[in-house]
Every structure is written in C-alpha cells, then in structure tokens.
Amino acid sequence: MIQNIQIRELTPRHLRQSCSNCSLRELCLPIGLNPEEMQELDAIITQARPIKRGEALYRAGEPFKSLFAIRVGFFKASVISEDGREQVTGFHMSGELMGMDAISSDFHTCDAIALEDSEVCELPFGEIEELAGDVPLLQRHLYKVMSREIVRDHGVMLLLGNMKAEERLAAFLLNLSQRFAIRGYSSTSFHLRMTREEIGSYLGLKLETVSRTLSKFQDQGFIKVQNRLIEIIDGDSLKKLLSNCQGE
Amino acid sequence: MIQNIQIRELTPRHLRQSCSNCSLRELCLPIGLNPEEMQELDAIITQARPIKRGEALYRAGEPFKSLFAIRVGFFKASVISEDGREQVTGFHMSGELMGMDAISSDFHTCDAIALEDSEVCELPFGEIEELAGDVPLLQRHLYKVMSREIVRDHGVMLLLGNMKAEERLAAFLLNLSQRFAIRGYSSTSFHLRMTREEIGSYLGLKLETVSRTLSKFQDQGFIKVQNRLIEIIDGDSLKKLLSNCQGE
DNA sequence: TATTTTATCTGATCTAGATCAATCTTTATT
DNA sequence: AATAAAGATTGATCTAGATCAGATAAAATA
C-alpha cells in the first residue's frame, strides 16, 4: 500500500518501554544483544542532549561525527539549494535515527531542525562502527536502518513524481497517523508539529494548496482541522483516495 | 551545485582499469585492502552474469540474497505502485551497486531492468556482511555507498519538489554527462539508453514535456538531439539554467 | 523488403495547482 | 493586556505542464 511505503517499523513497545535512560537499546537498535554487548553500546552513547524547538541539531556543511537517535521530540530534515529553496526531505520522531546521509562525505548534507523541544542521544559514528565490527547484529541493524531510509526515500519519490495534491496529503496524514500509533499515541487525533509551508515543501506543494486541501478534506468529512490539531474522522476514505489514484 | 547532488563518485580510473575479471575491487569497492583481504573478497564474488536488454536483474517482491555490482551496462530501477504507476527511482551504470533497498526487509522493493545488454557481479550479502565484520575498510565502504544513495535520493526529492521542467531536464543531462565523463566516455556526446517516457517517470514529467523541452533546448542551441543521441553544445547555458532557478 | 509495433514529435486545448492578494487567527513580544 | 509578528485561510486569476490527438520516424518482426 502506498501509504505504507514511508513507514518506519519499530520494535514492539514492550521491548523498549522498560528502559528509562537514553540508550540505543530502547530506541533505534533494539536488537538481541547479550548483556555484555549492551554495556559496550551504552558506554559509547553520551547522555541525552536537549534541543530546543527551532534549534538545529546539525546543519548542512558541518563535519560529521555522530548519528543521532531521537529520544523524544520531532525534527524536520531539509536540504537547501544554493539559490535558497528548501526541500524538506523528512520529518522524524522518537526512535528514529538521523544523520546517515553524512556518512558518505563526512559532512552533513542537510539541516536537522527541532520542531518541538526534543532530546537526542549522540552516537559517535567511529565508535559505533568499531563496535559493529565485533557485534554482527549491530552491524546488520545499521545496514537495515540505512536501507529503510532508502526505501522511504523511494516512496517519497513516487509521491512527488506521480501523485496529485489530494493523494499526497492523504498519504502524509495516514503516514503520520501510523507512526504516532506505533509510538502509543492516538492515531486519530494528533498535533502537527510543522507549518503548512513545511508540509508543502515536503510534499512538493505550496502552502495554499496544503491549506485548501485540508479544508476540502474537512468539508468532505474525512478529517477535522483546528489549526494544527488534526482529527481523522474517516480514515478509510483517505485510504481510498490513495488506492483510487489510478494512473491508467 | 544542484547538478552535483546526484552524482556518484567513483574511484579514479587508474585504480581499477588494470583488472579484467569481474570483482568488487575494480568496481564498487575499490578500497585499500591488502592482498589477502582482496582474495577473500574475490572468493565471494561469483562470475560475471550477463543480463540482456529488457531483462530484469531482480523484481520487487523477490527475496533478497545479493547486491549487484554493474560491470558493464545500464539499468533502470523503478517502483511500481499497486495501481500500476511506475516511478523510476534511478538510472545506474557501470561501477554502481544495486539492491541496497532490499536489505531492510529481505525482499527487493523495486525492479531493476537492463536498458542495454549488461553484465553484473553478484555479491551474496550474507557473505559480504560477514567479511565486512573482519575488514573495517569494507564495512566502512558499504556504509558510505548506502549513505551516498540516500544523498542522491535527497537530490532527486529536491528536483521533484522544487524544480521546473527545464531545470529538471538540464540537471538530468548534466548529471548523465558527468557520469559518462567519469567513466572515460564523452561528456558531450552520448546515447540515451532510456525512452522519453522513462526519463519523464524519473523526472516527474510526461513524455511529451520531455520531448518538447529537449526540442526547446535544441532550438536554443544548448544541445543537439537526434533521437536518443544527445550532443551537448553549450553546457554552460544548461548549468546557468540550474543556478538561475531562483525560488525567491 | 514489407509490415507491424513502438517511440517520438508537435499542435491544440484544458486544468491542477501556482501566484497574487486580502483577511483572519494564533502565537510571541513588549 | 496590548501590540507585533507569524501562520493560516480563502478568493480571484494565471500558467506550466497535462491531456488529447494526429503525424512521423525508428526499430522489431515477418
């Protein structure tokens, strides 16, 4: 299903809910490591770092040192073209890993901006890499996470290249809904952390089109919009919009 | 520069031109391994496999076993949505690695179709992964290659989300040009392996728009088009089109 | 070589979404 | 609380690119 393409899977909650301190274990790399390996991992990870809303976790051009696991919060990632146009490449929430684009060149290639007060764990890549050499499960997990990012990106390409405004918005809302659900939040009522303009940038639309389309969905009884609060009234109709997007 | 965003770097030619048989060494992973490591790598890689034009190297849904290094030839990668719409996610040429999207789920998520008679080396991922655990340089290289794919995808998102038809075509032509140049082919005269429709799918345009825009470039004296043969007459003007794409 | 089939080009028209513009609402700041 | 700034909505208009349609041209096949 189209709306699944960009979804990141997470480990079931029961596997990570018991941990209270920041660690890879409970977040992005919750794999079957033995206690000893776990300890090595924990030793690498620095204490959770708070990022205030509006602050940058990193910016394009900065030297790459670490990946970041989002402990709590919400980020946007975006590339800025030389002429100043912003393309939001993704929205990221708790349990997700950011910064993988920087591995290739040792410099960050996008900005990561907190859209709400957040906390991240810093994972020094050199050390993670070294440990991964000794811990096959960790190594494999890193490959999987990167691969998942590639798959997600392909889903966005499909969206940008083939879908029309309503389909894009429907896919976007359903994707957010699912990701909130996975994290134990309501899938039918949630707060958008980003502006209409940022949604538009992500979806390849202008903010006016985003606004109009949300209003239209509301008029059709699919959702209820109160500024940034979204209530999904009729998710099936949204899903139908997606499967209806016949190209033939 | 926008047109560089999707470019894959390759190792300088002198590092790989001496090898005649198919190997990672000369292709996608030309890193400073010692002779012993080299041998282990070679042992893993199966003999070059020919893929005829039009044939699939793999298809979405097939179980994942190996990555593929393109030895010679040209491929398109595409995802097909349930309703049958194709989105070309990339064109790949010699020296590039395909199939990384499949690591995340152990199934291929896109089709890889040869656009000319090609040859690939199969890299059984399980074995590569195992060797990577013992050979840090190989491990690091795999991370880098995957990261580069993510960066490339972000470039395509920028193109699809922000650029207009002329800019997209200019970026596309310049990107091909550079990639041919890196491989020792002419950067100013090359044969398109794909149809106008496939170009359109990649760039988020209809084939008619691709055709019209190529004609327009020809009228402006930027390029010469003879069916699939492209001659770049005035590359600077194409580049200017890209830097001119002011969004403010 | 003749004959399909497939790909490309070009023109005419249409439309989804952009752009321009004004108002309204929420949030931040004093 | 008052004011300023930022974000969101809604309407009117415009346009880049889609769609429809027909004409060529190239490539595949008989």
DSSP per-residue string spanning B167-212? HHHHHHHHHHHHHHHHTTS-SSEEE--S-HHHHHHHHT--HHHHHH
**Cβ atoms within 10 Å, residue B228:** 12
Nucleotide nearest to B167 (CA to C1'): D16
For residue B164, which amino acid is it?
Answer: K
Query: d(Cα B4, Cα B143) in Å, to the nearest integer?
Result: 20
Question: Mean pLDDT throughout A44-54?
Answer: 90
Look over chain A and give the mean of its residue pLDDT values, rounded to a whole number.
Answer: 87
- The pLDDT value recorded for residue A99 is 98
Q: Is the pLDDT of residue A68 over 80?
A: yes
Rounded CA separation B236/B219 (Å): 16
Distance CA A153, CA B182 (A): 26
Neighbours of A82 (CB within 10 A): 11
Three-class SS state of A141? helix
Nearest Cα residue to A16 out of A183, A186, A190, A178: A183
Please tell me the distance from the alpha carbon of residue A245 to that of residue A164, in angstroms, as a whole number: 8
Query: Which residues 213-242 of B interface with strand D at a CB distance below 7 A?
Result: 227-228
Please check whether residue B213 is in contact with residue B199, taking contact to mean a CB–CB distance below 8 angstroms: no
Average pLDDT across each block of 10 residues of chain B; the chain has 248 residues. List them in order.
Answer: 34 35 52 79 85 96 96 96 90 96 98 96 95 93 96 98 97 97 95 98 98 98 97 97 61
Among residues 56-95 of chain B, which lie with CB inside 8 Å of chain A?
79, 81-85, 87, 89
As a whole number of angstroms, the distance between CA B214 and CA B52 comes to 28
Chain A nearest-CA distance from B29, in A, is 13
* Domain locations along chain A: 2-158, 164-243
Nearest residue for C27, CA–C1': A227
CA atoms within 13 A on the CB side of A19: 16
A35: left (phi over 0), alpha (psi -120 to 50) or beta: alpha
What does the pLDDT look like over A171-211, one tens digit per residue?
999 999 999 999 999 999 999 999 999 999 999 999 999 99
Q: What pLDDT was estimated at residue B230?
A: 98
For B36 and D28, how far is CA from C1' in angstroms? 49
Interface probe for B, chosen from A1, A125, A143, A163 (most Cβ of B below 10 Å), is: A143
Nearest to A144 among B1, B81, B104 (CB): B104
- Do the chains contact at B161 and A87, CB–CB below 8 Å? yes
On chain A, the residues whose CB falls within 8 A of the CB of B110 are: 154
pLDDT band at A31 (very low <50, low <70, confident <90, very high): low
Could you check: is the Cβ of residue A138 within 7 Å of any atom of nucleic acid strand C? no
Query: Can you give the pLDDT at residue B115?
Result: 98
Which residues make Cβ contacts (< 8 Å) with residue B132, sequence separation at least 6? A133, A139, B138, B139, B142
Show the 3-state SS of chain A: CHHHCCCCCCCCHHHCCCCCCCCHHHCCCCCCCCHHHHHHHHHHCCCCEEECCCCEEECCCCECCEEEEEEECEEEEEEECCCCCEEEEEEEECCCEECHHHHCCCECCCEEEECCCEEEEEEEHHHHHHHHHHCHHHHHHHHHHHHHHHHHHHHHHHHHHHCCHHHHHHHHHHHHHHHHHHCCCCCCEEECCCCHHHHHHHHCCCHHHHHHHHHHHHHCCCEEEECCEEEECCHHHHHHHHHCCCCC
B160 touches chain A (CB under 8 A): yes
Dihedral sign from CA coordinates of B195, B115, B128, B107: positive
For domain B163-243, which architecture applies? Orthogonal Bundle (1.10)
Q: For residue A4, give the DSSP letter.
A: G
pLDDT tens column, A4-27: 333 333 333 333 333 334 445 445
Contact A130, B134 (CB under 8 A): no
Query: Which one is predicted more confidently, A15 or A225?
Result: A225
Q: Which residue in chain A is spatially nearest to B148 when comparing CA positions?
A: A104
**Cα B27 from chain centroid?**
13
Which residue of chain A has the CA closest to B134? A133
Q: Give A84→chain B minimum CA distance, Å.
A: 7
The structure tokens listed for B125 are: 């991922």
CA A163 to chain centre: 20
Tokens 């990193």, residue located: A58
- Worst-scoring range by mean pLDDT, A38-47, A200-209, A235-244? A38-47
What is the nearest CA distance from B204 to chain A, expressed in angstroms? 4
- The CATH classification number of A164-243 equals 1.10.10.10
Instruction: Write down the CATH superfamily of domain A2-158.
Output: Jelly Rolls (2.60.120.10)
B2-145, superfamily in CATH?
Jelly Rolls (2.60.120.10)
Q: Which two tokens stand for residue B57?
A: 């190297």
pLDDT for the residue numbered A41:
81
What are residue A93's phi and psi, to 5 degrees?
A: -130, -175
Per-residue model confidence (pLDDT) at position B55: 96
The neighbour count for residue B12, using CB atoms within 10 Å, is 10
Q: Give the separation between CA A109 and CA A103, rounded to whole angstroms.
A: 10
The band of A60, judged by pLDDT with boundaries at 50, 70 and 90, is very high
pLDDT greater than 90 at residue A34: no
Give the residue on A whose Cα is nearest the Cα of B204: A161
